[in-house]
Amino acid sequence: MSTIADNPSDIRPFRIEIPEEQIDDLRRRIAATRWPTGELVADRSQGVQLSTLQELARYWANEYDLGRLEQRLNALPQFTTEIDGVDIHFVHVRSPHEDAMPLIMTHGWPGSVVELLETVGPLTDPTAHGGRAEDAFHLVLPSLPGYGFSGEPTDRGWENGRIAAAWATLMERLGYSRYVAQGGDVGAAVTDAMGRQAPAGLLGIHINLLALAIALKDVLPAETEPERAAHAALATFTTDGFGYFLEQTTRPQTIGYSLLDSPIGLAAWMLDHDTDSYYKISRAFVDKEPAGHLTRDTVLDNITLYWLTATGASAARWYWEFGRFLAATAGQAPPPVQVPVGFTAFPGELWNAPRSWAETAYPGIAYFHEADRGGHFAAWEEPEVFVDEVRAAFRASRAAG
């Protein structure tokens, strides 16, 4: 991995260069995996299934093109710049339409900029993808601190608010005086914080996970069937699907040793995120039936990125920061969002938030829509649907800007 060194606050071009010895080491470690016996159940209730992970390992070591990741990212303009003491990596693709709206999109965990790559073409060059010139965006895709090719924070406090402030600095440094922001998962929490900070130039936000539901669950409506179903899904997450969240909010360093030492341990930890995504990814490997763009190759692009950058532990530490943020602000009403908010509910999300939940979190919400397909990794799995939602959510902001 390389940059052109200069003033740390400068925007520096970046290209990925993966040494061959790292590839050889990865293959050796996969081959040396010590496997447990199979689970004692027919579903994922004991964790990632042995058949799924063994097929992933076989494909990763023997068929997957380990040069894919380098080629995919190096095909796009990449840069780094130092903000608040951390080197931030980002993809920056300007639209051929000069009057395009600048948009910063933030990935989540266990994702990366990889989960957003299928949206780059349609968002930046809509006329080449069946869209209209007036829907064009100049696109900025940063890697969260401690994720991917961004640097690891060396001090505490990199929770949503600090990242949000860094993103505002990044957009200002790029010369964007008016822009919008989007995020899912961790990115949703960061984008939410941007909306509450309302930095100069931010015209609106769009999110596709109601991250506030965990903190607001006692006041979220539960009268209609969709509301009760959402409460049931939230309860399932906080009881049966909470393992990774609890470990990373309390002991990220402990799990970090395994994540940096075993590529198969890392893959299992990343696959065991949510039921909908897990079964889709499992079918991609075991049955060769991908769900949208959740293919064997793109899933391994993402896992390989975590492995080669050795960011399993540093990425997990965001949850530790988030857990302390939640504890410190428990019982306190967050500051109001000061920009228009758009929200898209995807049916396979951790909890499919109904409109009443979105309105509770964001009074006066400007845009709400329920998509007909897609899950937690919406931009990755269903980029066409996701792009349509982003375009629709920001039309009003574009007019206002």
State the catalytic residue, choosing from 185, 192, 272, 274: 185
How far are the Cα atoms of 102, 319, 362 from residue 385, in angstroms, in the given order?
Answer: 20, 29, 23
**Domain 2-400, CATH class in plain words:** alpha beta
Closest CA to 257 of 302, 313, 311: 313
Closest CA to 58 of 273, 279, 267, 261: 267
State the catalytic residue, choosing from 89, 92, 293, 376: 376
Q: Which two tokens stand for residue 22?
A: 């790292």
Task: Show pLDDT as tens, one digit a residue, over the chain (401 residues).
Answer: 544 456 878 999 999 999 999 999 999 999 999 999 999 999 999 999 999 999 999 999 999 999 999 999 999 999 999 999 999 999 999 999 999 999 999 999 999 999 999 999 999 999 999 999 999 999 999 999 999 999 999 999 999 999 999 999 999 999 999 999 999 999 999 999 999 999 999 999 999 999 989 888 999 999 999 999 999 999 999 999 889 999 999 999 999 999 999 999 999 999 999 999 999 999 999 999 999 999 999 999 999 999 999 999 999 999 999 999 989 988 888 899 999 999 999 999 999 999 999 999 999 999 999 999 999 999 999 999 999 999 999 998 877 76
Residue 122 buriedness (CB in 10 A; 0-12 / 13-18 / 19+): buried
What global pTM score does this model have? 0.96
pLDDT for residue 2: 46
* Angle in degrees, CA 358, 361, 362, rounded to 5: 80
State the catalytic residue, choosing from 147, 176, 278, 319: 319
Closest CA to 48 of 152, 56, 387: 56
Contact 348, 376 (CB under 8 A): yes
Contact 101, 180 (CB under 8 A): yes
Which residues is 142 bridged to in the sheet? 90
- Domain spans, the chain: 2-400
Match 């071009």 to its residue by tokens.
13
Residues ≥6 apart with Cβ < 8 Å to 76: 91, 93, 117, 120
Hey, what long-range contacts does 228-235 have (CB within 8 A, 24 or more apart)?
229/352, 230/351, 230/352, 230/353, 230/354, 230/357, 233/350, 233/351, 233/352, 234/350, 234/351
Side chain identity at residue 153, one-letter code: P
**CA 305 centroid distance within chain:** 13
Active site annotation includes 319: yes
pLDDT for residue 6: 63
Which residues is 79 bridged to in the sheet? 13, 90
Residue 350 buriedness (CB in 10 A; 0-12 / 13-18 / 19+): buried
Active site annotation includes 376: yes
